[in-house]
Structure 1
Amino acid sequence: MGRINRLDEHLSNMIAAGEVVERPSGIVKELVENSIDASAKHVDIYIKQGGIESIQIIDDGIGMDSQDAVLAFERHATSKIKETDDLWNIRTMGFRGEALPSIASVAHTILKTNDGKDGTEVEIRFGKLIKAQPVGTPRGTSIEVRNLFQKTPARFKHLKTPQYEFSLISDVVQKFAVSHPQVAFSLTHDGRAVFKTNGGGNLKEVLMQIYGREAAKSAISVNQGDGDFIVTGYAVQPMFHRATKYYMLLFVNERMVRSYHLQKAIQDAYAPYMPKDRYPIVVLDIKMDPHLVDVNVHPSKWEIRLSKEKQLEKLIYTALHHALKKDIAVNEVTKVRQENHRAPQKVEMPKMTFTYENDREVMKLHTDVDESFMKISDEAEADLDRSKSAKEEFQKPIPQPVYEDRSVHEPEVDYPIDGVNAMKKSAILLDETKKQSNPLHSQGVGNMSDHSDTLPHMEVIGQLHGCYILAQGEDGLYIIDQHAAQERYNFERLSNMLYAGNKDMQPLLIPITVETSSAVVARIDQIHKALEEIGIDIEAFGANTVVCRQLPVWMSGIDETGFLQDLLDIWNKDEEIDIQKLRENAVATMACHSSIRFNRILTLDEMNKVIEDLHRCNQPYHCPHGRPTFIKMTTKQLEKEFLRIV
């Protein structure tokens, strides 16, 4: 007798459930996707004990007739596709026909549905059909999942606390609210309303509810496309950043997805404006022909494959780069403080609610659930009541700086500041063609102007601890980081010199040898050809060693050996190298070394010179490492701190 057995349907469904239904949040995702595919305008989610006890999804979609209600629980039964060609033209959230039978095999499931003619109830207990009968129910579908994994203890024991499981559910519901602002969502946990949107289609309102008023108010609209893709959404100002990458939300044809390469494109666009190890808040929906994307990669449908991924990466980077460059805003003290200490205010907005009872147990739950939910303090609420124009202020357009590229010569200047005398005293005039081909233009580097209109007028009034320059302006108090400001100016000057065609070479008295892998040495000709463009001469020197005999003059002042080692390591890992980024890092290092240090007392002329230099920069708001060069505290904020505003 053979050893191979044909598994029965119930066991097959339980195995499939291991991929489709990993935890309660996966069930919520699958069921809400079904509601969206059914054209629902309202989706209500009721959770008990983090979904371990029960999950109920109620929608007002098209519903099902009695025959489809029973057939929906059979494996690979779906209304989304019919033939092979449909698999390459998927326009719905679901399509595999695995979710419902998988869920029903590991839980007690009750379905009530009405297609506008007849109501049907189907009950399945851990894979066994209990009943299918007519029932009175409103149009739409209600599905309840109880006692999840109680008969599969191996899976049940891996579930975490109800608070943690609910935090994952809330995260999924928030993503649905962002990707489908035209659908009204409500989320209730253990009888208490936690999250609710009105379905009005205003994405910025949803962002305000999830990320807070100030972050949403600062959000920059993104809308750019090419022949294959259209990228729309919002990019929040860099001053509102997070410690994790999970606030970069990507949707492909309104489907929530995960993509390392697309997220990397977002990070690269924000890199000039943000410190390392911090991540932006971005929401992007990418419209494309379904033939360009394969969503049938994993049963959970989080992963996708794109036919023109590099093209899309470039489009996302370009769209965000242009949006940030056009509408970058000055860091304000109050905004930074609120974001870092997570004390957002409660904001009353029309047709939107976000409520829960203010008792100790629920407050603790929501602290664990999602750090992006707004915690409302009595002080913040009272403060809002005193501000009668809160709603009108939110609707006011934000004054945005406009960047201008000017092709003018910079006059010769005497620099009294340490380290700057070593730099050349004449700026380089780049024509438009060179500016367009300058990779460092992504850092805001172009032609340096005599005076930039992007910055407000600042009048120096003093220095703090030998580190910060204090200046006053029409809007309030400005605090300038003297090192970061000079670093930005030096970075742009050096970059312009480099990209003006300065290829002066410096032969090395003692050649630099670098140990590497045999795989790198085997491709040394390819590497040499690529590096020759930026003036680096490198050749093989043994089985696992390369030697460099000359370097460009612009690399003086940095750790050449470490630079070359990093270059070869990256090449060995990725089989290609981003010369632009390597050059940016080298120039940023030189700019840092030639700038004013902290704890140095400056004269009034020196402080004024720092501000004048900042005005000459094309991107004066951040140093090359993403730190702000200055922040602002408005007069109104000062009056509020001194209790002069009632």
Structure 2
Amino acid sequence: MPHIAQLPPELVNQIAAGEVVERPASVVKELVENAIDAGARRIDVRIEEAGSRLIEVRDDGCGMSVEDLPLAFAAHATSKIRSLDELESVATMGFRGEALASIASIAQVSMSSRRERDAHGWILSPNESLECRPTAHPVGTTVTVVDLFYNTPARRKFLRTERTEFSQIDQLMRRFALAHPGIGFSLTHQGRLVFELTPLAHAQLAEQMPSRIEALLGAEFLNRARRIDSAASGLSLSGWVADPAYARSTTDQQLFFVNGRIVRDRLIGFAIRRAYADVLHHARQPAYVLALDLDPRAVDVNVHPTKAEVRFRDARAVQDFIFREIHRALAQGAAVPVSPEPVDEQSSAGTVSFGGQMEPQRRTSGWQGSSARSMPASASSAQGYLNLLAASAAPSTFPFDQAVAPEIREASPSDRPEQEVPPLGYALAHLHGVYILAQNAQGLVIVDAHAAAERITYERLKKAYAAQELTIQPLLLPVTFAVTESEADQYEAQAEAFARLGVVLARVAPTRVRVTALAALLRHADAEALARALLSALSEEEPDWGQPQAVLTEPINAVLSRMACHGSVRANRILTRPEMDALLRDMERTERADQCNHGRPTWRQLSMTDLDRLFMRGQ
């Protein structure tokens, strides 16, 4: 075995470059972070051939002295930390002091810089000489990187196509622009300006930030997003989460910032996915732009070579906070007001600025969303429909076959003053026993009756189960059905679990099972179909009943979701107008009423403008 030898500095830097510089976008990230740390108010990035030929980053920050320029390219030299205590509370973007040295080892680099108090700037090309030369330069710094991987051709072979590499840079710059709205950004590729954004004044951040989001992510995201702005226990979360119906097939619009730093953290991603669990359709991806601010000492940013991941001191508290706030935002619905959950008194104790730090004052960011209508939901117009819903267990509810529809007289929608029309309006018709057509102040509302009823039933099942208030109602005529002997064994083994969930059954023969009682919320369900679906759900989820309730929540919710599908109004069941109005009012009072349990939308709005456009009125 060869003797141990000290590696030369050039090889050390190239090894470090292998960790820090994965692709051209990695170089852009390091240089832009340095510009942000320099206090820049404007950062201009110029790219040629997707960064493989040229990367130039110019900022108007504080600049550097002639003494500091050579040190900037020395390994592990930095102006951002001086001690272990400062390392444990890093508040800057970069701090390791190895990026410039690594980049200079695999590319031709030059840096020009000038401080405000200096008469002229200085330029340094470390690949040629460590001597600085005077140069004309405005206040700030310009770093030029030419021929990336020129001396490591094997690395260049691993680059993707020019289009793919530039796409990575473009997405990165858009993330920076969203994380730091107080900075102006521009991106130019092959001489073409891709985008240019002016810096937003802190005092006008609330009014102007939506326009920056629209410019970078599109108007559709902004129109379908819900505002979050909350703080509690030293944590602050602000930004936007998109409606579940806006979910995408890719993760390109999942932007999360921790103290202004772009991160892709598994713990955070898991918390967000949990919040969307009840409303996201299959393998679709949620879209969001969120900033989490907390004490720098409570987060470790030094756990990944590219600083893309972080570690929290109290990961459980952070995860629960993110889950709770997003869950609350999604529960409110896109346009249907519901009674909000009680808010912690601490949640109104701080000012949150997106990508900034929390101040111990009254929140004045002003980024308050206006997605929720202010109209109050009116009382249910008829109890008859409640019997078809899971809500049929309410004490004031009558069996559907005893409801006397003629005694319920509803004024037609046109007879009601517009200001009294509730958000989802009043029913006009039930189309083919599937879709409810309703008129509200904006125009036409189309509701999928089964999907809406499924969500309502599901939410009521969850609340009743959590409060241990699932009322069991004996069936007048018990339902007996045939099964195989192995299935009968499974039913017998799961009898206790069935009872917990509101389905009482017993094995009455080697190949026969009898359902004798159901939860009142499900009493109109097909008992056999419900029992079979419940057995399948329990076999898939396999809840461990010995676990605490918090651990059981997700598998139990999955089971209750399957039950709600069988306990809801079925397609082709024609509803009367009072029954349809009752459903609309129930939707307005139900959390997450925009989507069914499988993530499908439950209703859509067509405004009068949309209808006029369809029929070319006024054209």
Tell me the TM-score normalized by structure 1.
Answer: 0.72
Would the aligned equivalents of 1:428 and 1:497 in 2 still touch at CA under 8 Å?
no
1:461 correspondence with 2:429: yes
Deviation at 1:535? 9.2
Residue 531 of structure 2: which of 540, 545, 557 is its match?
Answer: 557
Say if 1:29 and 1:489 are closer, same or farther in 2 by CA, change over 3 A.
Answer: same
Equivalent positions of 1:160-175 (< 5 A) are 160-175=160-175
Q: CA deviation at 1:635?
A: 0.5
Aligned residues: 523
Q: Give the SS at the match of 1:129.
A: coil
Give the equivalent residue in structure 1 for 2:260: 254
CA distance in structure 2 between the partners assigned to 1:170 and 1:514 by the alignment: 59
One-letter code aligned to 1:31? L
Corresponding residue of 1:244: 250
> Which residue type is aligned with residue 401 of structure 1?
R
Tell me if structure 2 keeps the 8 A contact 1:250–1:258.
yes
Counterpart CA distance in 1 for 2:290 and 2:10 is: 40
Q: Which residue number in structure 2 is paired with residue 641 of structure 1?
A: 614
Counterparts of residues 472-491 of structure 1 (less than 5 Å) = 472-491=439-458
Residue in structure 1 matched with residue 554 of structure 2 by the alignment: 581
Aligned to 1:615: 585
1:294–1:552 distance in 2 versus 1, CA, 3 Å: farther
Distance 1:559-1:35 versus aligned 2 partners, 3 A rule: same
Distance 1:263 1:453 in 2: 40
Deviation for aligned residue 1:139: 1.1
With over 3 angstroms needed to count, the CA separation of the structure-2 counterparts of 1:569 and 1:514, relative to structure 1, is farther
Offset, 1:612: 1.6
- In the other structure, the counterpart of 2:234 is 228
Q: Is the 8 A contact 2:380 2:585 kept in 1?
A: no
Amino acid at match of 1:632: Q
Structure 2: how far apart are the matches of 1:86 and 1:626? 46
Q: Is the 8 A contact 1:409 1:427 kept in 2?
A: no
Q: Deviations over 1:21-53 (max 9, x none)?
A: 000000000000000000000100000010011
Residue 223 of structure 1 and its aligned partner are, at CA, apart by 1.6
Q: Using a 3 Å threshold, how does the CA distance of structure 1 residues 454 and 309 change in structure 2: closer, same or farther?
A: farther
Task: Give the SS at the match of 1:483.
Answer: helix
Q: Do residues 413 (structure 1) and 387 (structure 2) align?
A: no
Matched residue SS, 2:276: helix
How far apart, in 2, do the equivalents of 1:129 and 1:552 lie?
87
- Asked if structure 1 preserves the Cα contact closer than 8 Å seen for 2:267 and 2:319, the reply is yes
Pairing 1:624–2:611 present: no
Tell me, in whole angstroms, the C-alpha distance in 1 between the residues paired with 2:291 and 2:567.
43
**Residue 47 of structure 1 pairs with residue 20 of structure 2:** no
**Does the alignment pair 1:313 with 2:319?**
yes
Deviations 1:150-173 (A, max 9, x none): 211111100011111000001110
- Whether contact under 8 Å (2:48, 2:189) holds in the other structure is yes
Displacement of 1:286 in angstroms is: 1.3
Determine helix, strand or coil for the equivalent of 1:29: helix
* Cα deviation, residue 570, structure 1: 8.9
SS in 1 for 2:113: strand
One-letter amino acid of the structure 2 residue matched with residue 121 of structure 1: I
- Map of 2:83 onto structure 1: 83
The answer to whether the Cα contact below 8 Å between 2:47 and 2:189 also exists between their aligned partners in 1 is: yes
Please tell me the residue identity of whatever aligns with 2:110: I
Contact 2:422 2:440 in 1 (8 A): no
Answer yes or no: is the 8 Å Cα contact 1:237–1:329 preserved in 2.
Answer: no
Distance 1:495 1:416, change over 3 A: closer
Q: Please show how residues 89-108 of structure 1 align to structure 2 within 5 Å.
A: 89-108=89-108
SS at match of 1:245: coil
Distance 1:303 1:146 in 2: 29
Pairs within 5 Å for 1:203-214: 203-214=209-220
- 1:103, 1:197 → 2: CA distance? 28
1:70 and 1:536 mapped to 2: Cα distance? 76
The alpha carbon displacement at 1:281 in A equals 2.4
Q: CA deviation at 1:645?
A: 4.2
| Contact 1:461-1:472 at 8 Å conserved across structures | no
- Cα distance change, pair 640–532 in 1 and its aligned pair in 2 (3 A): closer
Are residues 396 and 206 of structure 1, via their aligned partners in 2, closer, same or farther at CA, if it must alter by over 3 Å? same
CA distance in 1, matches of 2:500, 2:574: 41
Q: What is the CA RMSD across the aligned residues, in angstroms? A: 3.8
Deviates more, 1:551-560 or 1:288-297: 551-560
Correspondence for 2:21? 21
2:104/2:126 contact within 8 Å kept: yes
Unaligned residue ranges in structure 1 (runs of 5+): 331-394, 430-451, 516-527, 538-549
> Are 2:181 and 1:196 equivalent residues in the alignment?
no
Amino acid in the other structure paired with 2:429: I
Give the equivalent residue in structure 2 for 1:364.
Answer: none
Contact 1:249 1:284 in 2 (8 A): yes
For residues 2 and 433 of structure 2, what CA distance do their matches in structure 1 show? Answer: 84
Following TM superposition, by how much is the alpha carbon of 1:217 offset from its aligned partner in structure 2, in angstroms?
4.1
| C-alpha distance in structure 2 between counterparts of 1:109 and 1:20, whole Å | 16
Unpaired stretches in structure 2, ≥5 consecutive residues: 337-366, 397-419, 475-485, 505-514, 523-529
Q: Does 2:236 align with 1:268? A: no
User: 1:151 maps to which residue?
Assistant: 151
| Structure-1 residue corresponding to 2:563 | 590
Name 1:512's counterpart in structure 2: 490
Measure the CA separation in 2 of the matches of 1:78 and 1:636. 59
Shift of 1:560: 4.5
Q: Does the alignment pair 1:288 with 2:256? A: no
> SS state of the match for residue 125, structure 2?
strand
